[in-house]
Amino acid sequence: MNLWPMVLAGGTVGAGTALLVREVLLGAQPALAPALERQAPAGLSMPAPVLGREEVWGRWLLARLQRLPGVTIPVTNLALLGQGPGHFVLKKVALAAIGLLCPVLVTIPWIVAGVSLPLYVPAVVGLVVAGLLFLTPDLAVRDAARRAREEFAHAVSAYLDLVALKRAADAGPTQALEKAAQVGRGWPFLLVQGALRRARLEKIPPYQALAELAAEYDLPVLDDVADIMRGSATDGAAVYKALKARTAALNAELLADQAAEANAASEKMAAPGALLAVLVMLLMAFPAVIRMLTV
């Protein structure tokens, strides 16, 4: 029997499974490119970014897939993660193609072994698998964006504390926001630094730049900072109390979310443990049951 079809089919299925596991389990980290682009002065002409080959092909596919109903692109989440829409669409199409080919390749060993299958079986299975794999990047991007927003919320909690300390030291509203943002080196602080630098160059209030940043990337926790700092010109002590109160409330929300996530993870571990216990009981009772049936 020729084993090459079986080897090729197994290798293709294994490669597709590995790609699927990688896309689902390994979330993309937020890129720093959007934050670094904001740091450029507004009056300077920046060169157009050089798009990679995958991004160019993906945008070509996107221009044609947008005509189909039901095809949506999570633009806000992709911008937060620093990913291009073209690369995202190319990934979706590649996974869908793998889903169409896998059932066909899996049936090759059956055909080699002489087992005949109806033609509609691999076709239907291929369409179902292709549809599921086509939706996989959306789920992966949504999960990665959720984790990025959680990380940003933790950074904003520390940022609120720093702004409150600067205001308590009689720093001005703009000075407090800028000096507090310069303390951090993570990507959330880089985003805030870029927004505040743009506000200074464009001569707009810093809280307006923070509100625009929150709307651009769907960061509701940053809206709280902008809302509080709108009233910072009247009474510094009141703003300090408002900042400390919002920090305490945000920390309580983050702790509650972490506790809920831990409880959900614990509940998920209960089912495998119960199944393992049932399997052990069946394994222990199997010899006695066989002996009773054979007597």
Q: Is the pLDDT of residue 144 over 80?
A: yes
Question: How much is the pLDDT for 2?
Answer: 47
What's the token pair of residue 129? Answer: 């698998």
Give 103's pLDDT tier (boundaries 50, 70, 90): confident
Q: Is the pLDDT of residue 181 over 70?
A: yes
Question: How much is the pLDDT for 44?
Answer: 37
**Mapped to the 3 state alphabet, what secondary structure does the chain carry?**
CCCHHHHHHHHHHHHHHHHHHHHHHCCCCCCCHHHHHHCCCCCCCCCCCCCCHHHHHHHHHHHHHCCCCCCCCCHHHHHHHCCCHHHHHHHHHHHHHHHHHHHHHHHHHHHHCCCCCCCHHHHHHHHHHHHHHHHHHHHHHHHHHHHHHHHHHHHHHHHHHHHHHHHHCCCCHHHHHHHHHCCCCCHHHHHHHHHHHHHHHHCCCHHHHHHHHHHHHCCHHHHHHHHHHHCCCCCHHHHHHHHHHHHHHHHHHHHHHHHHHHHHHHHHHHHHHHHHHHHHHHHHHHHHHHHHHHC
Q: Provide the percentage of residues in the chain whose pLDDT is more than 70.
A: 72
Question: How much is the pLDDT for 149?
Answer: 92
Among 32-41, 182-191, 282-291, top mean pLDDT goes to: 182-191
Question: How much is the pLDDT for 132?
Answer: 87
- The angle at the Cα of 174, spanning 43 to 189, to the nearest 5 degrees, equals 75
Per the CB < 8 A criterion, the answer to whether 221 and 152 are in contact is yes
Residues 6+ apart with CB under 8 A from 180: 159, 162, 163, 165, 166
71-75, 210-214, 232-236: segment of lowest average pLDDT = 232-236
Q: Is the pLDDT of residue 269 over 50?
A: yes
Give 48's pLDDT tier (boundaries 50, 70, 90): very low
- Tell me the C-alpha distance between 239 and 233, whole Å: 9
Residues 6+ apart with CB under 8 A from 39: 193, 194, 197
Give 40's pLDDT tier (boundaries 50, 70, 90): very low
Rounded to an integer, what is the distance from CA 108 to the centroid of its chain?
Answer: 37
Question: How much is the pLDDT for 223?
Answer: 85
Q: Whole-number mean pLDDT of the chain?
A: 76
Question: How much is the pLDDT for 197?
Answer: 92
Residue at 103: amino acid letter: P
Q: Is the pLDDT of residue 134 over 50?
A: yes
Per the CB < 8 A criterion, the answer to whether 196 and 177 are in contact is yes
- Tell me the C-alpha distance between 85 and 64, whole Å: 13
For residue 72, the tally of other CB atoms under 10 A from its CB is 8
pTM of the shown model: 0.68
9-30: pLDDT as tens digits: 555 666 666 655 555 455 444 5
Question: How much is the pLDDT for 101?
Answer: 82
Q: Provide the percentage of residues in the chain whose pLDDT is more than 90.
A: 8
51-65, 181-195, 246-260, 268-282: segment of lowest average pLDDT = 51-65
145-171: pLDDT as tens digits: 999 999 999 999 999 888 888 888 877
> What mean pLDDT comes out for the span 222-230?
83
